[in-house]
Amino acid sequence: MSNALYSHSGKKNPRRDHLCSQELVRSSPFEPVRHKRLQHRKDESSGERKTIKKINLLNIKEPCVPEWDPSEPEPFYQPTGLEKASMPAGEEKGKVVYSTKYPHFTCSRIGGSRGPIRNATFIGEADSTLQFESRFESGNLLKAVQVGLYEYELTLRPDMYTAKHTQWFYFRVRNMKAGANYCFTIVNLMKSSSLYSVGMRPLLYSERAAKETSVGWRRTGSNIRYFRSCNQVKSSDTVTLHSLTWTVQFPYDSDTCYLAHCYPYTYSHLQRYLRGVASNPAITSYCMLRVLCHSLAGNAVYVLTVTSRGSSVVEDKTKRAVVVTARVHPGETNGSWMMEGFLEFLLGESDDARLLRDTFVFKVVPMLNPDGVIVGNYRCSLAGRDLNRNYKTRLRDSFPTVWHTRNMVERLVNETDVVLYCDFHGHNRKNNIFMYGCNSPGDNALKLQERVFPLMMSKNANNKFSFKSCKFRVQKSKEGTGRITMWRLGVKNSYTMEASFGGSTLGDRKGSHFTTRDLKSIGFYFCDTLLDYCDPDPTKIKYCLAELKVLMRKQVREKLGIDVGSGVTVSDVETSTSGSNSSDSNGLPVHLLKQQQSNVSSFISTLGSTCLIMFISH
């Protein structure tokens, strides 16, 4: 695990004033920020003082997962109809065997505590109870309750400074018996529907299997069911919780195993990858690596500028630009795997990679929310807000990563033609890979242009990418997203690319899960499609536009029962983007909101005292 630290200090950080590429080539930004006491810092936009919790993770080495892909695609789970939906027993009828109510987030350090940390597992040495742990990078198990010999109810920690956004999970177990049917039930999931209802299976990693057979993460589980938790009293004030239950058999006795919602991709993993990039002289000749900004907790947010060096400065400035970002939502690890595949292709030695570098200037931000990734959040940053609803913010100190990203794109738009912006995401309710775009107002011919790139993607990755699932509505509720913000800045081809947490329903991959190789291949196809889209020969684009016109007429006829007329397009009748509801994660950062509420309470209290004094005096 990396020695990168959480650090947020009011003192000036000299490394923030020297964000040149040479610094990263020397790999000094990968050195840990020195451990400091957390201090108050004044928010320049509000004048208020804010405090961020210190965070401490155990010194647990990240699993060394081998480069492994199953020999055959892993099929979806086929429900039998006999899966149980039991009412949670809870602590009253069970035994708490793991709990992190004790505040283990106490120091601003990743890579291990400098002193002892209270053991969160209540277990005797001779006990056969599973030993749980998740106080490592990206882990988020809050509590485990044993309700039967091999049955456990699990509670996930919500995103920090919120009471919501539980979907991602990642934890470790030990002390198991091979062949026993262990039943796990996560009891506090937030989403009303899930891919677990249509065949998705959780992931299992066995250290012993990796060591002895070189097997990495694999799909596992039977008796899988996603259902509404039964012990809730319905009221307008109650958040409806859902449960996921599954049964798993571990392959070895007394192994160390990890269970996860999707293939983990930590901030430490990214740093290792970027070290490899920065230490390769061939790559650094066309890839400049620097720090775009620092997160709330002081973690470096990296940006790569990739382009071949022209014969003159003028030639470099005339190149068009492409902007690609990922991991604004920390639990969407599939976005990082697509990003790694994209970078592997772009930084490679193939003729197509060279052509891309000769043609474009790429600005790449591989991880927008490192704080959320480290602490195991699913959706939010340490501001307790969804960064992908805050691209329009003026609060630079509260939302530094999206503020600086928008600022970077705004400068690019003023300097050159930004051909495309794309933010890589994960999707929890739909299978396949697909895109969300922004339909252009005005001429119907222009409204088809933004659909060309996704249509080309569907042809290049026809057993994974679904054009039918792509949507192009510009919804008011999504105005703060990167996709719509960049579009309003002038980037016509502005997209979110969504990768399912499940798998494919297309072609020869129908009914099978995505692997890390599949996700990385989408990054390759993205590069390939970019070459097709920008081919000087317009034949492919003309072909796609003709196909889109036919497709548009067909879809409008199916939706409305009429032929396409003036002012009627597919965007006018297509459904919403069906993304996650982050309305409760909009607004002021939590620390400013609480300060505001505190000020109101103080005012009311003072007003009440004043009124009482006036009443007595009269």
List the catalytic residues.
498
Residues 144 and 187 sit within 8 Å (Cβ to Cβ): no
Both tokens assigned to 563: 């032929």
Q: Which of 435, 406, 432, 383 shows the shortest CA–CA distance to 579?
A: 435
Q: Which residues contact 456 (CB under 8 A, 6 or more apart)?
A: 529, 532, 533, 540, 544
CA 301 – CA 558 distance, rounded (Å): 46
- Which residues make Cβ contacts (< 8 Å) with residue 317, sequence separation at least 6? 415, 416
Q: Virtual CA dihedral for 209, 212, 213, 218, nearest 10 degrees?
A: 10
Supply 228's token pair.
């509404």
- Taken in order 243, 249, 251, 256, the sign of the CA dihedral is positive
Coil, strand or helix: which one is 444? helix
- Pick the closest to residue 499 from 433, 421, 403 (CA basis): 433
The answer to whether the beta carbons of residues 170 and 120 sit under 8 Å apart is: no
Q: Which residues of 463-481 are buried (b: 16+ CB within 10 A; e: fewer)?
A: ebbbbebbbbbbeeebebb
Residue with tokens 């056969």: 128
Largest CA distance in the chain: 89
Handedness of CA 524, 525, 527, 531 (dihedral sign): positive
